[in-house]
Structures are given as structure tokens and as C-alpha cells.
Amino acid sequence: MKRFEGKTVVVTGGNKGIGLAVAERFAREGANIVVGAIETDCDKAAEQLKQHGGRAVAIVCDVTRKPDVVALYDAADLHFGGVDVSIQNAGIITIAKIEDLTEKDWDATIAVNTKGVFLCCQEAIVRMRKSGKGGRLINTASGQARDGFIFTPHYAASKFGVVGLTQSLAKEVAQENITVNAICPGIINTDMWDYNDRVWGKLLGDYRPGELMASWVENIPMKRAGTGEDVAGLVAFLASDDATYITGQTINVDGGLIMS
Ligand code: NDP
């Protein structure tokens, strides 16, 4: 019997990067997957997941819009009879000096990274409560929820916010067999880092593509960037029966980059 056989897992931003790696891990371990993403071709991700032997559906869902979020969890109910694990992974980043940081960037970042997590947690908890079966919520924060980096005050604020809401919700649902935890990936090699490397690299000095990331990786005790699979391992653990007594925690997955 596979570890997550019969369980249904919702993953926002599950069409690529960390979210897709997480969804693939659960698919390989037998779960039904509901992938939410704003790209209209997120069906491709669902097809890819089915190749791992699991059942998967894709729903176009902008996590900043309540009706989209409701539709995402409605799909979990309709196709698989409810949600057992909800992974709030969707996120965006922009990088700018304070004088160039627009209100639009501030609002969009908080809307996706913090409000989006709130809306999904709210919808998942309401449904988990109704089912009486409990469940697991895993919220993606960042190393920037530990230590704000330069030129990303809005992103750091959005991710510190994820930790606060995780702790508060964990206390509210602790006696209902629902756990709520946050994860802090460090430097994970995804499309997001192509942007980071280019824009931070330009603001911090005369870095050529790839050079900034390479220099930051030098500060990681394990001397390598992380992969989506590295993050998926932690997420799967937090969703598993080995983590029933863990809630309200924020756990780094970063090769030792931040040790607090
Ligand atoms: P990617 O840019 O590769 O993927 C981001 C995902 O979020 C995409 O699937 C994207 O969907 C989705 N998304 C963006 N906006 C919305 C929205 N409004 N509604 C729904 N989905 C949305 O990033 P990563 O995989 O690297 O990052 C995943 C998470 O991990 C993010 O929360 C990020 O902040 C966090 N993180 C990443 C780190 C890294 O080094 N990569 C480090 C620390 C944290 P679409 O493709 O349709 O736009």
C-alpha cells in the first residue's frame, strides 16, 4: 500500500517548479491530486501526474480570488470526495530598490503570498471540519520569513505573514486533528531563480547570468542549490502519519543556509 493511497491533496501553483515536484511526489505515493494554477494550460501538469499512476485534475485558480479558491476545493469534493492535505505553494516575487518598489508590486505580492494562503487555508479548514476526518495544511513561506533579504521588503513581509497565520490557525484547529505548518525553502533552482539571479544580480553588482546564484550557493553549508524534490520530501513528511504531533511549526529546507 502506498503511503498516501486514498488521500486527496490540493496543491496551488502545482503546474511547475516546487509545486509540480511536490504534486509528483504525492502522485507517486498514491494520492489523488488537485492542481491549481493560473495558467490555462495547467491541464498539462495533471496529465504528467497521471503518468505516475495517480488520479489528477487541474483547475484554473487564481489564489487571490475567493470564487476561484472555492472552485478549487469544490473540485476536490466532486472528483475525490474531499480534501485531506492542502498545500499553499503559489507565490510570486519582485525585486526593487525601495524608491522603485510600486504599490502595485506591494499589493500583488501580499495578495498572492499571504492572502492567497489565508483564502486556501480557510476553505480547506471549513471542509476538513465538516468531514470530521481532520487534515494537514502546509504553507510555503521562505528563508525570507526568517531573515529579510535586500530589495524584497514586500516579499519578506508577505512570507513573515505566512508564519503568523500558520501559528494562529494551528492553535485554532489543534483539537480537530488538523495540523498547520509552514516550510521555508532556501535557494531552490526553479524559474523563480532565473528572475532572481537576473534582477538581484543587476542591483547588487555586475553579475553575469548564473553568477549571483552561484555566489549565494557558496554560503550554503551543503554547497548546492535545493531542488523541488528536496522540498517535496519535507512536505510529504509533514503530511504523513509520522507528523501527527507536529503543528504550528516553521521548518527550513535549505541545506543549512539559515539555522534559526
Ligand atoms: P515558480 O515561479 O516556479 O512557481 C510559482 C507558482 O505559483 C506557479 O505555478 C504559478 O502559476 C503560481 N502562481 C503565481 N501566482 C499565482 C496566483 N495568483 N494564483 C495561483 N497560482 C499562482 O516558483 P517556485 O516553484 O520557485 O516557488 C514556489 C513557492 O516557493 C512560492 O511560494 C515561493 O515564494 C516559494 N519559495 C521559493 C524559493 C525558491 O528559491 N525557488 C525559495 C523560498 C520560497 P503560473 O505558472 O500559472 O503563473
On average, the pLDDT of the chain sits at: 96
Question: Are 101 and 154 a contacting pair, CB within 8 Å?
Answer: yes
Taking Cα atoms as reference points, which of 138, 160, 158 lies closest to residue 233? Answer: 138
Enter the C-alpha cell of residue 177: 486533528
Ligand 1 pocket, CB under 6 A: 12-13, 15-19, 37-39, 61-64, 89-93, 112, 140, 142-143, 185, 187-188, 190-193
Residue 246 confidence class, pLDDT cut points 50, 70, 90: very high
Q: Quick one: average pLDDT of 3-12?
A: 97
pLDDT in tens, 31-60: 999 999 997 668 888 999 999 888 999 999
Asked if 155 is an active-site residue, the reply is: yes
Decide which of 3.40.50.300, 2.60.40.10, 3.40.50.720, 1.10.3720.10 is the CATH code for 8-186+231-251.
3.40.50.720
Ligand 1 centroid – CA 41 distance (Å): 16
d(CA 206, CA 149): 19
Residue percentage of the chain with pLDDT more than 70? 99
What pLDDT sits at residue 1?
85
C-beta separation of 140 from 89 below 8 A: yes
Q: How close is the Cα of 91 to the center of ligand 1, in Å?
A: 4
Question: Residue 207 in contact with residue 196, Cβ under 8 Å?
Answer: no
32: left (phi over 0), alpha (psi -120 to 50) or beta: beta
Helix axes 17-28, 228-239, angle to 10 degrees: 50
Q: What is the pTM of this model?
A: 0.98
SS3 136: strand
- Average pLDDT of span 86-93: 98
Band of the pLDDT at 66, cuts 50, 70, 90?
A: very high
So where are the chain's domains? 8-186+231-251, 187-225
- For 169, the grid coordinates are 490557525
Average pLDDT over residues 201-211: 90
